[in-house]
Structure 1
Amino acid sequence: MIRILKVYTLVLAVSFASCKNKTSSKKIELLDTVSFEELSKISCEYLKNQQAHCMEKYKIGKYERWDYDQRTGKLIFSDQGVRKVIIDYEEVGSVSLKSNTWLWAWGNSSIEENVKKEITTIRTYGIKRGFESLLKAKWSADIVDGWDMAAISAYILKAKGVYRTPSHDNKLFSFMLFKKITVVDSLPKKK
């Protein structure tokens, strides 16, 4: 499996500009013929090439706090209690450093349904192509595998970015896709 050379706490990617039918057809054909290793490489390159642009545009990683809520499907970045960026997200899955496993969101009963609707597309694609790591709910993995699964998911679903959140003990890391990004007015309104 192609590995991401440098693992970042935050990897962002801008979605592709709207494609014409000809381009979309080529992408579908590509996805139907690439090996898993090629898909991983293309996906990781997609994130790597877009990261600088998203960091500049949304300043993710520079805010003092982040919070997420599965019920609302929102990931919120803030400074001094002021919301800066609100993101509609989709859960991809998680890596446990305790069990050294990857668990897809679609196979995790503790993840709310509203934040794992689209990720089943990746499983369907994995079944179609016979890519075991995309169709098996849980398997032996490390943090780099988590980034690979997030990158592949971002590429296939045309996500605007990816964020990795740690648990309180830094033994479980969840990966989230950015579906919609809203920049909030940076200054509170005066009355």
Structure 2
Amino acid sequence: MEIIDYKSFAADCIEELKVLQSQFSEKFDVTHANWFYNQATGLLTFSSDNTELNFKYFEVGSFSPKSETWMWSWHNDYTLENVKETARQIKDFGARVNFAKLTEGYFPSDEFEAWEFAAIATKLTNGIGVYRPVNDDGLQIFLVLTEFIDNQLARRIKNKYIQCGTHAYGRIAFVCQHLNFTTKVGFEESFETFEGMELSDDDDFQAWCDDCEAVRVAEDGWNDKAMEFVKIKVVCEGCYFKMKELNLGTK
């Protein structure tokens, strides 16, 4: 087991974060910008007038001034896996050096300590800065920014997601007009899928029913006639796998 003095280590991380925050402010002016972070895309966006800045991020955790408690993101069931996976590195580090507060999910804390946790997370993951949005309930959410993303790439990432009335915000999926949530009609896919899987930039979730598969085979592919029969509709990833589970009994 590594032996490290926690107070000294945390203090050093705070000082390093101060330098990073200063460098970040010099390079990116987000002082008066509107902010929006999206767990599904893993992007934090700052916008003002005609300027937009996008950053990849992961969520460290949250501090509640009301209850004076800290919760690590990996302990929060309401935080999506893709933005809390990296935070487990801090938990693993805490286990190696026996820092209990880096391994316990939820406990009494204060704002200064919350900044220490964010600073430690930034150091261990080579982050480029920390942003702390505050929600309507006063909850302070600590995000470590990991990478600046140009607007063209950010648009490509965002365009792969859709707002859904049932599942909020999720990745886009394409299904035939006959797939639904109540009646089994078969479920054919362009490749084997599972919920939450990584997709390449060129791949999408795509599925169609048995009748559409019969037409595709008869037409020797997706020609105009087959596509007219399919009449593709757009759904979110959650809806896609709900349809798959109905038809195949599996996610």
Asked whether 1:75 is paired with 2:75, we answer no
Do the aligned residues in 1 keep the contact of 2:63 with 2:114 (CA within 8 Å)?
Answer: yes
Q: Which residue of 2 aligns with 1:126?
A: 94
The CA distance in 1 between the partners of 2:51 and 2:78, in whole Å, is 27
Asked whether 1:66 is paired with 2:35, we answer yes
Partners of 1:93 and 1:102 within 8 A in 2: yes
| Higher relative contact order (CA closer than 8 Å, sequence separation 6+) | 1
Q: Could you tell me how far 1:60 is from its partner in structure 2?
A: 2.5
Corresponding residue for residue 35 of structure 1: 5
Q: What are the superposed Cα offsets for residues 53-95 of structure 1, whole Å, 9 maximum, x if unpaired?
A: 21010113232x0001100011000013x45210111000000
SS in 2 for 1:153: helix
Name the TM-score, length of structure 1 as normaliser.
0.75
Contact 1:101 1:139 in 2 (8 A): yes
| 8 A Cα contact 2:4 2:97, kept in partner | no
Larger Rg: 2
Please list the CA deviations of residues 15-42 of structure 1 after superposition, one character each: whole Å capped at 9, or x if unmatched.
Answer: xxxxxxxxxxxxxxxx944211111011
> 1:165 aligns to what SS in structure 2?
coil
Question: What is the one-letter code of the residue matched to 1:145?
Answer: E
1:1-191 to 2 correspondences below 5 Å = 32-63=2-33, 65-80=34-49, 82-170=50-138, 172-182=139-149, 184=151
Which runs of 5 or more residues in structure 1 are unaligned?
1-30, 186-191
CA contact (8 A) 1:84 1:183 kept: no
Give the counterpart letter for 2:71 in structure 1: L
Q: Is residue 32–residue 48 contact of structure 2 (8 Å, CA) maintained in 1?
A: no
Q: Which residue of 2 aligns with 1:7?
A: none
Q: TM-score under structure 2 normalisation?
A: 0.58
Aligned partners of 2:7, 2:140: CA distance in 1, in Å?
Answer: 23
Secondary structure of 2:131's counterpart equals: strand
Aligned identity (percent) is 31
Question: Could you tell me how far apart the structure 1 residues matched to 2:91 and 2:67 are?
Answer: 22
2:61 maps to a residue whose letter is: G
SS of equivalent residue, structure 2 residue 86: coil
Distance 1:86 1:131 in 2: 33
Matched residue pairs, number?
Answer: 152
